[in-house]
Amino acid sequence: MRRSIATLASATLALAITAQAAQAQVLFWSTQAAPVEETQKMREQVLSGFEGGVDFQASETGPFLTRLSAEIQAGSGQIGVVGALHGDLATYADSFVDLSDIDLSGVTVSDAFLELGKLGTDEQKYLPWMQANYVMAANKQALEYLPEGADINALTYDDLIAWAKTMAEETGSPKFGFPAGPQGLKHRFFQGFLLPSYAGSTVTRFRSAEAETAWEKFKELWQYTNPASTNYAFMQEPLLSGDVWVAFDHIARLADAFNQRPDDFVAFPAPSGPAGRAFMPVLAGVAVPTSAPDMEASKALVKYMMQPETQVATLLATNFYPVTDAPLPADLPASARALGPAITAMTTADDALPALLPVGLGDLGGQFNQVYTDTFERIVLGNQPVRDVLDQQADTLRSLMEQAKAPCWLPDVPSEGPCPVE
Amino acid sequence: MRARALPYLLLLPATLFLLVFFVYPFVEIAVLAITRDGSLSLQPLTTMATHWKFGAALGWTLLLAAIVVPIQLAMALSMATIVTKLDRGRSAFLYIFSIPLGLSDLAAGIVWLAIFEQSGFLNSMLHGLGIVDQPVLFLSYQNIWVIFIAIVLAEVWRATAIVMVILVSGMGLIPKEYYEAGEVFGASGWQRFWKITLPLLRPSLQSALILRTLAAFEVFAVVTALGGTTLPVLMGETYNWQFALQDRNVAAAYALVILGISIAATLFFLRVLRVPKGATI
């Protein structure tokens, strides 16, 4: 009898201890690494080394923002660390604690990124966590159809159209692929690549004559685009299956193709237009909301995320690149070896024109993206007149910018007050 | 006194439940749909009505309901008649017919996606039989009608069983004497179906039709799985405004439209299939 009581007591004690441990875990609330495989890798390979444990939860941006706002409004909550893109974090600048007191001992972070992390204040509102970009990828079979004299590292949109046309005509089926499915990142292409390349602007010159040309060009390209594109989310799959030979996508959504068949694919910069070679760098950061339950643990986790080993592990788990000077191991996966140089070629090109992800839109970010998606669906899929669609969507865009009171960001010229739509 | 209060007391929990979980959210939604930032505004409603996808979403939803519900009704009636006629193996048939009921909407959509996809079963079969050289892209924005037909098929497959279950129980309530009398007077099978089964089945038909039509207006997961955003429906747009576009006021406006159509459809069926007082079995 006595023994069974002792067993019971120790079991209860053990339970209590595990419950305590579970409670002490820091909740890492993230919009990044949301695909199930990546979430799993984050938990097993990146965060398992953190003492005290991390409860890593990734979610879609909508539910993510809903919970974050709720906790901030309530003034108390469970979220310990927030991981999200620069544009999402920018909205909550007032609700994040200053992270400048975190001792990064020996880790050097890119100055430009640190400056972005201040979100226009004097405090370090978030620390840069990882970065990514969008590139083009091609099956090596496609290279023989390249237009004469074209340099794959310095293509123009006209070259790309000519290339897609030749491939479609000579192989009998359209081989250019575009992530235009419901989960595809098509809006980023229009915001960060197509429009800036022609109009030198994402918002202000949305309905300019140059923007009209850009959409006409894209319509031309669409003729030689695999019609299944409206179902594509990640371009790595159609590239691997051979349905598509040339594609544009986020590097994290191309990585599998390079990892599975490294010898079959090449990565190269996005094309350039009359206004330059526009591209959209993606920066994710980690921040600590003022409502975090355990400030010490949260800051410890932020510090852990910046360590060289963690940064490399994050690269392996998510295909996002480090933002620190973390030395990269020699045995990097094929995707990192192939995609890295393409990004460098793009960002250091003579005509490079960086276009940032939307800043300061908060929960209107979805509607902002929808303006570009709707424009695409109406002009390209619905065949509506370009001029009319641009005029109508520009009205929507203008009222959104006014509602959000968001000033212009790169590549648009800085504005007093809401970014104007001409 | 206590005996008189008892029925009301017994109704109280259900009433409370309805008030808290149905009436309260409904009022909230109605308020959301006609306000913006806390003040009265028609902006959510106009934003919804002037959005270029609204007309298409409304049209596709109504068309889908108008096509799916009659097909399901006809199929369910014949399935229910077969099941009722069976002497043996009745429960086995019922069980097999209602297997799709055990699947979630989304799962059903994905099952059909696996069939129609470019690398799906249908393409493999056509290719195996030598009918096509390379996989056909069925579910593309260029053949929106194919997407529509695929959705109709998936919906019919998924939800006919629920109508059948209601009709089977309704048929079980019809007294055998009517049929025996009909046989005595020489009514054929068809005549017995038209003159006895259908009229006496009215209450079950009513509930089955109301249930199915309401569900048809709320069709969402199957459409999302098969059509993505190519074929917009009201419920998909509601979801989109709430989560992707983060504008709950416009989402509430959409919800009100769905509610409005649902009430109209319910009133229609209540009126058309009403059972006169005193004419019940």
Question: In this structure, is residue A335 part of a structural domain?
Answer: no
Q: What is the DSSP string of A81-146?
A: EEEEEHHHHHTTGGGB---TTS--TT--B-HHHHHHTTTTSSS---EEEEEE-EEEEEEGGGGGGS
What percent of chain B is predicted at pLDDT more than 70?
98
From the list A84, A152, A116, A149, the residue with the least C-alpha distance to A288 is A84
Q: What is the pLDDT of residue B60?
A: 94
Question: In this structure, is residue A345 part of a structural domain?
Answer: no
Question: In this structure, is residue A376 part of a structural domain?
Answer: yes
Q: What is the pLDDT of residues B55-68, one digit of tens each?
A: 999 999 999 999 99
Say yes or no: A315 and A397 in one domain. Answer: no
Residue A186 to chain B, least CA–CA distance (Å):
13
**pLDDT exceeds cutoff 50 at A17:** no
**pLDDT exceeds cutoff 80 at B20:** yes
Interface test with chain A among B226, B246, B248, B250, by most A beta carbons within 10 Å: B246
Say yes or no: A186 and A165 in one domain. Answer: yes
**pLDDT exceeds cutoff 90 at A285:** yes
Do A139 and A238 form a contact (C-beta atoms < 8 A)?
Answer: no
The sign one gets for the Cα dihedral A356, A184, A159, A347 is positive
Do B106 and B225 form a contact (C-beta atoms < 8 A)?
Answer: yes
Say yes or no: A49 and A99 in one domain. Answer: yes
Asked if B208 reaches chain A (Cβ–Cβ under 8 Å), the answer is no
The sign one gets for the Cα dihedral A404, A406, A412, A416 is positive
Are B244 and A366 in contact (CB < 8 Å)? yes
From the list B142, B150, B149, B155, the residue with the least C-alpha distance to B230 is B142
Closest-CA residue of chain A to B141:
A230
From the list B59, B64, B77, the residue with the least C-alpha distance to B216 is B64
Q: What is the pLDDT of residues B139-190, one digit of tens each?
A: 888 888 999 999 999 999 988 999 999 999 999 888 889 989 999 998 888 8
DSSP label at residue B103: S
Measure Cα distances from A190 to A176, A200, A206, A388, B272 in Å: 16, 12, 11, 18, 52
- In the predicted model, what is the mean pLDDT of residues B116-145? 85
What radius of gyration do chain B's Cα atoms show?
23
Closest-CA residue of chain B to A365:
B245
Q: Which amino acid is at B151?
A: I
Are A364 and B246 in contact (CB < 8 Å)? yes
From the list B147, B129, B130, the residue with the least C-alpha distance to B138 is B147
Which residues 6+ apart lie within 8 Å of A241 measured at CB? B119
Question: In this structure, is residue A420 part of a structural domain?
Answer: no
DSSP label at residue B276: P
Question: In this structure, is residue A246 part of a structural domain?
Answer: yes
Taking contacts as CB-CB distances below 8 angstroms, the residues of chain A near B139 are: 231
Question: In this structure, is residue A100 part of a structural domain?
Answer: yes
DSSP label at residue A150: -
Question: In this structure, is residue A92 part of a structural domain?
Answer: yes
Q: What is the rounded CA–CA span in Å between residue A410 and residue A279?
A: 11
Say yes or no: A362 and A236 in one domain. Answer: yes
Q: What is the pLDDT of residue B142?
A: 83
* Domain containing residue A213: 134-280+355-404
From the list A65, A66, A125, A118, the residue with the least C-alpha distance to A95 is A125
Closest-CA residue of chain A to B226:
A231
| Burial classification of residue B142, based on how many CB atoms lie within 10 Å of its CB (0-12 exposed, 13-18 middle, 19 or more buried) | exposed
Say yes or no: A288 and A396 in one domain. Answer: no
Q: Phi and psi of A293, rounded to 5°? A: -70, -35
Say yes or no: A378 and A237 in one domain. Answer: yes
Q: What is the rounded CA–CA span in Å between residue B49 and residue B62?
A: 16
Q: What is the rounded CA–CA span in Å between residue B273 and residue B207?
A: 10
Q: What is the pLDDT of residue A18?
A: 47
Nearest to B245 among A230, A231, A370 (CB): A370
User: Residue A216 belongs to what H/E stretch?
Assistant: helix A209-223
Q: What is the pLDDT of residue B156?
A: 92
Nearest to A381 among B118, B141, B224 (CB): B141
Q: What is the DSSP string of B207-218?
A: HHHHHHHHHHHT
The mean of the pLDDT values for chain B is: 89
Asked if B50 reaches chain A (Cβ–Cβ under 8 Å), the answer is no
Q: How many distinct structural domains can be found in chain A? A: 2
pTM passes above 0.80: no
Q: Which residue has the tokens 């594509």?
A: A232
Domain harbouring A229, CATH code = 3.40.190.10
Nearest to B140 among A65, A228, A378 (CB): A228
Cα angle, residue A187 at apex, residues A186 and A193 outer, rounded to 5°? 90
- Tell me how many residue pairs between chain A and chain B have CB atoms under 8 A apart: 49
Asked if B39 reaches chain A (Cβ–Cβ under 8 Å), the answer is no
Most confident option among A211-225, A362-376, B221-235: A211-225
**Cα atoms found within 13 Å of the Cα of residue A360, Cβ hemisphere only:** 17
What radius of gyration do chain A's Cα atoms show?
23
Q: What is the rounded CA–CA span in Å between residue B159 and residue B215?
A: 9
**pLDDT exceeds cutoff 50 at A21:** no
Question: In this structure, is residue A417 part of a structural domain?
Answer: no
Closest-CA residue of chain A to B224:
A182
Q: Which residue has the tokens 């310990």?
A: A80
Q: What is the pLDDT of residue A225?
A: 94
Q: What is the rounded CA–CA span in Å between residue A389 and residue A383?
A: 10
Cα angle, residue A195 at apex, residues A117 and A144 outer, rounded to 5°? 105
Residue B228 to chain A, least CA–CA distance (Å):
6
Q: What is the rounded CA–CA span in Å between residue A110 and residue A323?
A: 6
ipTM above 0.85, yes or no: no
Are A182 and B242 in contact (CB < 8 Å)? no
Q: What is the DSSP string of B129-155?
A: TTS-SS----SSGGGHHHHHHHHHHHH
State the first-to-last Cα distance of chain B, in angstroms, to the nearest integer. 34
Q: What is the pLDDT of residues B37-58, one digit of tens each?
A: 888 889 899 989 988 889 999 9
The mean of the pLDDT values for chain A is: 87
Q: What is the pLDDT of residue A155?
A: 92
Say yes or no: A274 and A380 in one domain. Answer: yes
Cα A306 from chain centroid?
Answer: 19
Reduced to 3 states (helix: H, G, I; strand: E, B; else coil), residue B98 is coil
**pLDDT exceeds cutoff 70 at B242:** yes
**Taking the CB of residue B247, how many other CB atoms lie within 10 A of it?**
22
**Taking the CB of residue A147, how many other CB atoms lie within 10 A of it?**
15
Q: What is the pLDDT of residues A205-262, one digit of tens each?
A: 999 999 999 999 999 999 999 988 988 889 999 999 888 999 999 998 998 999 999 9
Chain B segment 134-153 residues within 8 A of A by beta carbon are: 134, 137, 139-142
Q: What is the pLDDT of residue A366?
A: 85
**pLDDT exceeds cutoff 90 at B89:** no
Say yes or no: A302 and A246 in one domain. Answer: no
* Residue A86 structure tokens: 């620069």
Taking contacts as CB-CB distances below 8 angstroms, the residues of chain B near A370 are: 244-245
Q: Which amino acid is at B210?
A: I
Do A129 and A323 form a contact (C-beta atoms < 8 A)?
Answer: yes
**pLDDT exceeds cutoff 90 at B138:** no
- In the predicted model, what is the mean pLDDT of residues A79-100? 88
- A357 band by pLDDT with thresholds 50, 70 and 90: confident
Say yes or no: A28 and A165 in one domain. Answer: no
Q: What is the pLDDT of residue A20?
A: 46
Chain A segment 340-379 residues within 8 A of B by beta carbon are: 363-367, 369-370, 374, 377-378
Are B140 and A63 in contact (CB < 8 Å)? no
Are A231 and B245 in contact (CB < 8 Å)? no
Say yes or no: A240 and A379 in one domain. Answer: yes
Say yes or no: A144 and A214 in one domain. Answer: yes
Peptide bond into A411 cis (omega under 30): yes
**pLDDT exceeds cutoff 60 at A80:** yes
Residue A61 to chain B, least CA–CA distance (Å):
8
Q: What is the pLDDT of residue B1?
A: 58
From the list A391, A263, A304, A409, the residue with the least C-alpha distance to A81 is A304
Say yes or no: A100 and A242 in one domain. Answer: no
Are A367 and B246 in contact (CB < 8 Å)? yes
